Amino acid sequence: MTAAAGKTAKPVAAPVTVRVDLGERGYDIVIGGGLLAEAGARIARRKPKAKAAVVADETVAKLYLDPCRQALSAAGIEPTSVIVRPGESSKSFPTYERVVDALLQAKIERGGLVIALGGGVIGDLAGFAAATVLRGIDLVQIPTTLLAQVDSSVGGKTGIDTPRGKNLVGAFHQPVLVIADTDLLDSLPPREFRAGYAEVAKYGLINNEPLFAWLEKNWQSVFAGGPDRVRAVAESCRAKAAIVGRDEREAGERALLNLGHTFGHALEVATGYSERLLHGEAVAVGLVLAFRLSAKLGLCRREDADRVAAHLAAVGLPTRLSDIAGELPGTDALLALMAQDKKVRDGALVFILARGIGKTEIAQGIEIQAVRETLDAARDSS
């Protein structure tokens, strides 16, 4: 079963190009259907005859590695392949070391290229390897999940996890090109597609209430594919590209992209980065908790928090702690995990809070008691 199950034909949308404006390091995000077949030609225009390595996990390799290699070969690029195990566990020091060794063994030079073919895990892992091998080689992202197409493939954040938290070791390393083939999302299990959709909804919640309202009415056609899916991915990429262009290294405004993530990352650690809770599912719960905390602090109306929860629940995403399989640690343990998150400054938790849908802000020094009560209330309401 796929996200577009039951559809025999989809309307065709013309590709959309979104520019990430970073001066000489700027790059295009190309979004549309059927783009994997054009990947070789698009890459060759930027890196003709470059020595390349395609990094993919076992699941994606079975589906898309051969078409990718064929597209590259047709454009005069003969790639080597590096295959890793699927799942968040591959964002680790041992797997990173293996990828780096494979790139060196393949004699990828400074003028070479790493192509990340896969979801967020592969993009982060391959991107970190590209950032560090030979002190940095070029990277192309070909994201194969909705979450990666709208979030992790754009903006240059790369990294791996440690037992102390998610993405705590990494580097900023912008790609030279992102190719988001929206047809590849048809192969996703429905749960994976829904998880990615949480990041799409996030962009509406950050600073685009009209987008969120459009999603409330049109989310089913986004899931089905075609022009509305391309529109949703493009709108998300435009939102992220604009913020990254103004604040590449998260000195200020870019932190808004972490809406829901302080809660969400703690829940991911608590569930062991396992199938119990996918990243996008953790973000969905985190979005609801961020709005609940905002309402508790008097920043937004309770009705706004209810609206967020209602939409995410309608899509089929978890919105309550009880929606997460298995037992969770107590509130004190979750607070301790949140304190280990990257979004801590001078020992105080930094939250992205909302004054309404589409109106978010960076809030420092939030009283722990308010966070505690929000988590406790989330348990009680479960």
68 band by pLDDT with thresholds 50, 70 and 90 = very high
pLDDT at 318 over 50: yes
Total tally of structural domains belonging to the chain: 2
Contact 293, 374 (CB under 8 A): yes
Q: Which of 189, 206, 232 is the last residue of a domain?
A: 189
Nearest by Cα to 45 from 65, 61, 23, 30: 30
pLDDT digits (tens, 9 = 90+) for 186-228: 999 999 999 999 999 999 999 999 999 999 999 999 999 999 9
Q: 2 lies in a domain?
A: no
So what's the pLDDT on residue 147?
Answer: 97
Query: What does the block give as tokens for 297?
Result: 């602090």
pLDDT at 4 over 80: no
Q: Is 296 a catalytic residue?
A: no
282 band by pLDDT with thresholds 50, 70 and 90 = very high
Q: Is 91 a catalytic residue?
A: no
Q: What is the DSSP string of 298-317?
A: TSS-HHHHHHHHHHHHHHT-
Beta bridge partners of 171: 158
pLDDT at 380 over 80: no
Residue among 10, 69, 157, 229 flagged as catalytic: 157
DSSP-H helix ranges across 61-189? 66-74, 93-105, 120-132, 146-147
Q: Which of 50-59, 265-274, 370-379 ranks highest by mean pLDDT?
A: 50-59
Q: 3 lies in a domain?
A: no
Q: Is 47 a catalytic residue?
A: no
Nearest by Cα to 199 from 156, 160, 153: 153
CATH of the domain at 203: 1.20.1090.10
Per-residue DSSP letter, 155: S
**Residue-averaged pLDDT of the chain:** 93
Residue among 10, 173, 229, 258 flagged as catalytic: 258
Residue among 194, 261, 311, 343 flagged as catalytic: 261
Q: Is 276 a catalytic residue?
A: no
Q: 362 lies in a domain?
A: yes
So what's the pLDDT on residue 1?
Answer: 39
- Same domain for 214 and 170, yes or no, is no
Tell me the whole-structure pTM to 2 decimals. 0.91
CATH of the domain at 185: 3.40.50.1970
Tell me which residue range forms the domain holding 114.
16-189
pLDDT digits (tens, 9 = 90+) for 290-304: 999 999 999 999 999
- Same domain for 87 and 145, yes or no, is yes
Q: Is 49 a catalytic residue?
A: no
Q: 6 lies in a domain?
A: no
Q: Is 265 a catalytic residue?
A: yes
Top-confidence residue, 5 or 63: 63
Q: Is 135 a catalytic residue?
A: yes
Residue among 47, 265, 292, 311 flagged as catalytic: 265
Q: Is 240 a catalytic residue?
A: yes
Query: What does the block give as tokens for 299?
Result: 């920043």
* 193: phi then psi, degrees, rounded to nearest 5: -65, -45
Q: What is the mean pLDDT of residues 165-186?
A: 95
Query: What does the block give as tokens for 79?
Result: 């790639």
pLDDT digits (tens, 9 = 90+) for 102-145: 999 999 999 999 999 999 999 999 999 999 999 999 999 999 99
Q: 5 lies in a domain?
A: no
Residue among 279, 292, 311, 343 flagged as catalytic: 279
- Same domain for 341 and 364, yes or no, is yes
Q: Is 51 a catalytic residue?
A: no
Q: Is 361 a catalytic residue?
A: no
Q: Which of 142, 171, 189 is the last residue of a domain?
A: 189
